[in-house]
């Protein structure tokens, strides 16, 4: 049975690239049949930057996207603990074993000495790497330095001129020479914390991880980890390194390209199923031409060997297209729930007003839902329903109001509104038919002036829905305002 893991560091908001890695692990496990396991492990040995708040954020973002795990800090399991900070004694045991076997040693080199090694190697045209000077210390020197309390790391002895070969499930056969890895590897820092490359090997082995799926930025770590597996006498897992996500300028996706954290997209009103669908398509190709796929369809079709080697570009336009599709397909009540915080934050209504007028808000959402790319667009699309006295929004709207027949038309429309108790679809339709019969005005010449008078713009939600949402009194007030301030010409 396959066991894969997602092992983030709780040192900040979770990046789009990391979420895509989590998604690929999840899809691999769920698509490979029953009995496979998704493990969530928290790599929190960076004491200064790790926090419980960021750990909670990781849980929340994964759950929001629909990525479930079978074992983890919050769910337990037979291979815990699932936080590295709770596994320090385990790491120490294997550190001591490697030292006893002569495969690792204490290093007392100062930062200045290490910089000297690096400078010397560069001057000689070599790859900068540790000289190995502490590997030649006599036992009595090591004991004396320890008694003196000198800060020490522990280094793993890398073999000399050894080819490290492995078959990557995405990239194919890879071979790297051990001499290019920077010299003997630090596996325990002077503060007693294990380094990433050491801890991940111990954890993956003890947790029974069979497949390591991660970003290609970890590719340089893989040969180091393979050598540790060999030194410990353990079978290595299978590796897959997914290509990194690029920005539109084809450089690694970063803040300069816009939003890079999954929570930023959630907060703007991207739906989880849209983000799930879109991220799955970054490097992976489904069967056929369809790109709008449900979570179940993606799981059914996903195969790790269909992940492309080329770096995908994060295409916000495509994400927007996918998201707008899922918004249109969603029940209005769901969009209302997501839209209300945006309406409140923008100052268009208070929380109390949102509670008291929820059914009215639903009508507003239903009127603009088709035009939403993300839920936060509601503040612009629906603003026309909240303004007291909208003015013409552009030259096109002003041109409509300059029509010779517009003043008389709007006065007649306003008078007929004043003659009814309230507006509904039947009454509004009757008013339009009556005006057409009395004046001969029809089509765009009839409807467009009313739209501009009611909303200040030539384009927008369905006109009939707009009139019903605004209601009799507000329509009368708006048309009167336009007549008094912007409409000229004959009555």
| Residues acting as catalytic residues | 255
Q: How far is CA 93 from CA 87, 194, 199, 202, 261, in A?
A: 10, 12, 12, 10, 37
Rounded to the nearest angstrom, the gap between the alpha carbon of residue 378 and the centroid of all alpha carbons in its chain is 21
CA 184 – CA 163 distance, rounded (Å): 15
Across 125-277, the runs of DSSP E, i.e. the strands, are: 153-156, 163-168, 172-177, 185-188, 211-215, 238-242
List residues bridging with 313 in a β-sheet: 246
Rounded to the nearest angstrom, the gap between the alpha carbon of residue 105 and the centroid of all alpha carbons in its chain is 42
- Tokens encoding 332: 């209005």
What is the enclosing helix (H) or strand (E) of 480? Answer: helix 463-485
Which ranges in 66-137 belong to alpha helices (H)?
88-100, 111-123
First-to-last CA distance in the chain?
Answer: 82
Q: What is the residue whose two structure tokens read 């300059």?
A: 402
Q: Do 77 and 116 touch, CB atoms closer than 8 A?
A: no
CA 78 – CA 96 distance, rounded (Å): 25
DSSP tag of 404: T
Q: Which residues of 394-433 are buried (b: 16+ CB within 10 A; e: fewer)?
A: eeebeebbebebbbbbbebbbebbeeeeebeeebbeebbe
CA 188 – CA 196 distance, rounded (Å): 9
What is the enclosing helix (H) or strand (E) of 336? Answer: helix 332-345
- Tokens encoding 258: 């816009």
Q: How far is CA 101 from CA 95, 183, 366, in A?
A: 10, 19, 71
Residue 65 phi, psi dihedral angles, 5° rounding: -75, -20
Residues ≥6 apart with Cβ < 8 Å to 197: 185, 187, 221, 224, 225, 228
Neighbours of 336 (CB within 10 A): 22
């Amino acid at each position: 049975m396959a066991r894969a893991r997602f092992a983030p560091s709780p040192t900040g908001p979770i990046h789009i690239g990391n979420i895509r890695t989590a998604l690929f692990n999840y899809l691999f496990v769920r698509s490979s049949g029953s009995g496979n396991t998704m493990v969530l492990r928290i790599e929190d040995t960076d004491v200064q930057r790790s926090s419980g708040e960021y750990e909670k954020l990781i849980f929340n973002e994964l759950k929001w996207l629909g990525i479930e795990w079978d074992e983890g800090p919050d769910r337990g399991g037979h291979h815990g603990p699932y936080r590295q900070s709770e596994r320090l004694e385990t790491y120490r045991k294997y550190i001591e074993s490697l030292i006893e076997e002569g495969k690792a040693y204490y290093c007392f080199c100062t930062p200045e000495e290490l910089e000297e090694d690096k400078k010397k190697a560069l001057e000689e045209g070599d790859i900068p790497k540790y000289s190995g000077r502490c590997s030649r210390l006599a036992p009595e020197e090591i004991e004396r330095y320890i008694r003196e309390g000198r800060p020490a790391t522990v280094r793993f002895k890398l073999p000399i001129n050894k080819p490290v070969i492995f078959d990557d499930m995405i990239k194919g056969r890879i071979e790297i020479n051990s001499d290019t890895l920077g010299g003997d590897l630090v596996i325990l820092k002077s503060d007693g914390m294990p380094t990433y490359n050491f801890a991940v090997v111990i954890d993956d082995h003890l947790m029974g991880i069979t497949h390591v799926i991660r970003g290609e930025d970890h590719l340089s770590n893989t040969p180091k980890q393979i050598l540790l597996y060999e030194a410990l006498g353990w079978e290595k897992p299978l590796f897959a390194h997914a290509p990194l996500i690029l920005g539109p300028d084809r450089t690694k996706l970063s803040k300069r390209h816009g939003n890079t954290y999954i929570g930023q997209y959630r907060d703007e009103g991207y739906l989880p199923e849209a983000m799930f669908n879109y991220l799955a398509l970054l490097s992976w190709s489904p069967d056929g031409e369809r790109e709008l796929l449900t979570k179940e369809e993606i799981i059914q079709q996903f195969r790790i060997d269909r992940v492309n080697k080329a770096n995908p570009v994060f295409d916000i336009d495509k994400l927007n297209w996918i998201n707008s599709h899922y918004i249109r397909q969603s029940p209005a009540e769901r969009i209302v729930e997501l839209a209300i915080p945006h309406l409140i934050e923008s100052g268009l209504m208070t929380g109390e007003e949102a509670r008291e007028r929820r059914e009215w808000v639903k009508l507003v959402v239903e009127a603009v839902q088709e035009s939403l790319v993300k839920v936060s667009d509601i503040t612009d699309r629906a603003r026309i329903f909240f303004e007291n006295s909208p003015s013409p929004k552009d030259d096109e709207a002003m041109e409509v109001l300059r029509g010779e027949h517009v003043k008389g038309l709007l006065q007649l429309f306003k008078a007929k509104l004043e003659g009814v108790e309230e507006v509904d679809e039947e009454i509004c339709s009757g008013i339009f038919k009556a005006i057409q019969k009395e004046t001969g005005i029809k089509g765009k010449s009839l409807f467009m002036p009313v739209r501009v008078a009611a909303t200040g713009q030539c384009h927008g939600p369905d006109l009939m829905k707009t009139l019903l949402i605004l209601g009799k009194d507000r329509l009368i007030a708006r048309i009167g305002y336009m007549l008094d301030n912007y409409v000229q010409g004959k009555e």
